[in-house]
Chain A
């Protein structure tokens, strides 16, 4: 096997990997402390369109995780980074609760459209305004393209169908920034100054976490917690670099083999 460059960064998924709702994965807090004693940067990555960083941070702090708010990188952060990087002024079709993560971004005289999960924005008028901007060349940025999700009152359309509709309308392709897109992982690593080959991702979602990370050039470690189901490792190609019982085991492996 060709020698890889030394590990510089570890990306860790949140829900299902470090915690499940309001319970931490047993031993995860200690494992995180051990990881921090190693010479690697750590970032916490997650797809979300509704929860701002502060909400996620407060939940993890309550669970005694040693974490700083600016170490959290979400699909909303990925969108923000892209906007800043390309100096775009967006129309933000996202839930109010997510707007906090876009504070400071100039939204006057928009020349880009950002779409998240925001049913109240998917009305005909707003879609038309977004369409006209995109037709004139404004980039369309999608937080993710989920088809639908489960609500208390039944299934509900996600942003995916509306993004697809706008892509067809304007004959263009959206830049999707959430997992498992390459953009997500590359953006997460951007300010760490390391390449994907110098990073490893730990997560419970074979396709979105591990598959996506490996597709971006990183190593992927699949943990058997959260949404993991037996056999998930066989669902991606190439297979995960490693499948192990949980976050603590993943950290052990990294410390013993990858530093």
Chain B
């Protein structure tokens, strides 16, 4: 473990944190902070390392989401958070795309400035209970009726952890629509390279000077590594023991939680 830590923190200037499963677990009543995480975020900021948050959260607007985390005691602000909906809006505007939204009601305000009339594409997010057969079918009908169907998926996660168990994520419905229409979706958010790169650019830090900490082996850890970052997997959130035997993605380190990750980073940074 010593050698691995040295590799991870060599020339370390910035930290990128996933939110769900690292800072807190979502669920009834808004969710519960993971023990030690509030303190861990404070310690990163006090150390002089730059910090950004890369989340695929699409059940709320950034404003509401960050406000909730602040109420839990987290030292976090909106301009430190990178989430898929704002990134998608930019893409929609740049390409003249007018979306049919298959998303959670509370994230719709993020798309307020986007023309949604006469849709020529579908944007799918983590819609949870909005993934009724009727709603998924409606999105399908929009796509199948287009000469050039465009499907934008806000992330491609398989599942996430809430306080009452694992829940299906946007990736499932992305795959369902891909299969139904025989098309390929464009992913905005983790693990798309552009998403990590925008956070790094905002910090003014090169990939090899940054470390990502997340609970999703493929989308957080794998995605960050694809960009040239180091990445740690926490054993909280959606982590499952089998993750440590994954055939293709191997984290640079596995830690019990964010607090332990920060302990290791700060301890070895001082050496």
Contacts and interface: CB of A to CB of B under 8 A. Distances in A.
Nearest to B156: A168
B208 interface: no
B250 interface: no
B133 A161 contact: no
B49 interface: no
Interface stretch (A50-58, A149-157, A196-204, A250-258): A149-157
A198 to B, nearest CB: 36
B128 interface: yes
Contact of B129 (A124, A148, A158, A167): A124
A157 B168 contact: no
Contacts of A147: 179-180, 182
B167 A128 contact: yes
Interface in B122-143: 128-133, 136-137, 140-141
A155 B144 contact: yes
**Interface magnitude class on chain A:** 20 to 34
Contact of A169 (B129, B144, B172, B180): B172
Interface string B173-188: 1011111101000000
B111 interface: no
B128 A148 contact: no
A248 interface: no
Given A132-B166, A161-B176, A161-B179, A168 B131 contact: no
Interface in B153-172: 158-159, 165-169, 171-172
A127 B171 contact: no
Nearest to A145: B179
Interface stretch (A7-15, A78-86, A115-123, A176-184): A115-123
A169 B133 contact: no
A71 B13 CA distance: 72
Contacts of B129: 124-125
Contact of B132 (A123, A160, A170, A171): A123
A158 B144 CA distance: 14
Contact of A165 (B137, B141, B172, B182): B172
Contacts of B169: 169
A157 B142 CA distance: 12
Contacts of B182: 147
Given A147-B179, A155-B144, A168 B158 contact: yes
Nearest to A119: B133
B168 A124 contact: yes
Nearest to B167: A128
Interface string A110-149: 0000000001101111011001100100000000000110
A108 to B, nearest CB: 21
A124 B126 CA distance: 11
Interface in A30-62: none
A128 to B, nearest CB: 6
B147 to A, nearest CB: 16
B138 to A, nearest CB: 10
Nearest to A151: B137
A135 B131 contact: no
Among B167, B175, B179, find the residue whose CB has the most chain A CB atoms closer than 10 A.
B179
Given A124-B128, A131-B166, A169-B159, A160 B180 contact: yes
A102 interface: no
B59 to A, nearest CB: 13
A161 B177 contact: yes
Contacts of A167: 175
Contacts of A156: 137
22 contacts: A122-B136, A123-B132, A124-B132, A127-B168, A127-B172, A128-B168, A131-B159, A132-B165, A132-B166, A135-B159, A148-B140, A148-B180, A155-B140, A156-B137, A157-B180, A160-B179, A161-B136, A162-B176, A167-B175, A168-B171, A169-B168, A169-B172
Q: For the complex of A and B, list the 4 residue pairs with the smallest distance between their C-beta atoms, beginning with the closest.
A: A161-B176, A165-B172, A165-B176, A164-B179
